[in-house]
Structures are given as C-alpha cells and as structure tokens.
C-alpha cells in the first residue's frame, strides 16, 4: 500500500459502526420516553433534524446549521436553545457512553500504529467530534467538524476538505481519505483530488 503523509478519517460509520450505535440509541430512546411521556415531542425534533440534515447535505450551504435550528424552532414552537439542548443530549452526550463498544478495531489499531510511525492522523466529521474521540481513546493530530468556523459546510462539498489541506500544509496526493459513504465521503475526496478508500474495503488491503 502507498505510504501517505496523512490519513483523513471520517468518524460516524467509519471509526465506529453505525448499525450497533443506532440500535443502542433506538432502544434508549424508546425506554427514555416510556418513562418520560410528556417529553415525547423531542422524538419528533430528532426525526426532523435527520430529515433536514439529509436535505441540506445536497445544498452544500455554508449557513446550514443556522437554517436548520431556525426551522426546528419554528416547527416545534420552542427556543433554539431548547432545540440545541435536545440535539446535544441525543447526538453527542448519550452516544458517548456506548461508542467504545462500537469501534472498528482494525481501523483504529491501524491508525494508531501509523501515527506512531509518523503518519499524521486527521479526523473530519459532519458532526461535532472532539468528545467522541476522547470516548474511544483516540487522539488524532487534528480534528475538524462541519460546524467549525473555518469549515462551515457539509460533505460532499469539498470546500471543507480543501481548507483542511491548506491548514495542515498537505497536498492532495499526500493524503488518504477513509470514509463509509461514497455519496458523501467519496465524492468529497474526489472533488478535492484526494484518494479515497471505503472502510468496508479495509479487509482487502494491508494497513
């Protein structure tokens, strides 16, 4: 396998497996709102967050987060601060407790080994990622999310990836991007001129 100066790794679905995370969280949601039925409307906030997120992926807008919060606030008649509190609880705070059980161990071990050999490790996610990285005991050289002020766009837009390359003084041909969705990670990488490897193909290569 070609030697790269850096790997850029997606988080959700790449460093961790999405299916067990979603199963765990779905069971937690059901149990929580059976005990707290008066807060059941929060499930609809989370549902609409996902639906809006999917729509805004296609638009590649820089102000997607502001629009998304404003729309959720309008639809559900609650302050933006309340929407943010719900999203943080279910998208970041509670998943932290289960992420270590859903890690892709082969990829994580390979990343740590290559990091020790001097390959720069960069994590780039569409979601806030710093707390998640601590939860799986992985400390990359750099980490970025689409919400960061210097990024402000979601994949498959390549603007964020190009900014990361500039900030880390890396050329496209010096980097390997590892992700789990070709329609987002793959397109983003190719638009930036970066080689892409789908995490599901890891078993076919020697890392």
In this structure, the answer to whether residues 121 and 154 fall within a common structural domain is: yes
Which structural domain range is residue 74 located in? 20-97
- Single residue among 97, 129, 145 that ends a domain in this structure: 97
In this structure, the answer to whether residues 64 and 85 fall within a common structural domain is: yes
Mean pLDDT of the chain: 91
Report if residue 66 sits inside a domain: yes
In this structure, the answer to whether residues 13 and 28 fall within a common structural domain is: no
Report if residue 160 sits inside a domain: yes
- Single residue among 97, 130, 158 that ends a domain in this structure: 97
Report if residue 1 sits inside a domain: no
- Single residue among 81, 97, 113 that ends a domain in this structure: 97
Q: What is the tens place of the pLDDT at every residue in 114-135?
A: 999 999 999 999 989 999 999 9
**For residue 48, pLDDT beyond 80:** yes
In this structure, the answer to whether residues 45 and 141 fall within a common structural domain is: no
**Least confident residue range of 28-32, 81-85, 178-182:** 28-32
Q: What is the CATH number of the domain that holds 121?
A: 3.40.50.1000
- Report the alpha-carbon distance of residue 174 to residue 177 in Å, rounded: 10
In this structure, the answer to whether residues 30 and 46 fall within a common structural domain is: yes
In this structure, the answer to whether residues 135 and 69 fall within a common structural domain is: no
Total domains present in the chain: 2
In this structure, the answer to whether residues 30 and 108 fall within a common structural domain is: no
**Residues ≥6 apart with Cβ < 8 Å to 66:** none
Burial of 148 (0-12, 13-18, 19+ CB in 10 A): middle
Q: What is the tens place of the pLDDT at every residue in 103-115?
A: 999 999 999 999 9
């Amino acid at each position: 396998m070609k030697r790269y100066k850096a790997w850029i790794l997606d988080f959700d679905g790449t460093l961790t497996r999405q299916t067990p995370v979603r199963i765990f969280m779905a069971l937690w949601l059901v149990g929580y709102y059976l005990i707290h039925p008066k807060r059941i409307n929060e499930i609809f906030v989370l549902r609409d967050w996902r639906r809006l997120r999917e729509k805004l992926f296609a638009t590649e807008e820089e102000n997607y987060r502001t629009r998304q919060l404003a729309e959720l606030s309008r639809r559900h008649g609650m302050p933006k601060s309340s929407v943010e509190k719900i999203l943080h609880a279910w998208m970041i705070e509670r998943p932290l407790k289960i992420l270590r059980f859903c890690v892709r161990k082969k990829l994580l071990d390979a990343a740590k080994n290559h990091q020790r050999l001097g390959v720069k490790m960069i994590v780039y996610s569409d979601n806030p990622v710093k707390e998640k990285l601590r939860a799986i005991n992985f400390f990359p050289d750099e980490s970025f999310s689409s919400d960061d002020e210097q990024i402000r766009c979601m994949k498959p837009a390549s603007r964020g990836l190009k900014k990361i390359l500039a900030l880390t003084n890396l050329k496209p041909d010096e980097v390997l991007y590892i992700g789990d969705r070709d329609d987002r990670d793959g397109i983003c990488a190719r638009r930036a001129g970066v080689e892409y490897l789908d995490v599901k193909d890891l078993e076919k290569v020697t890392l």
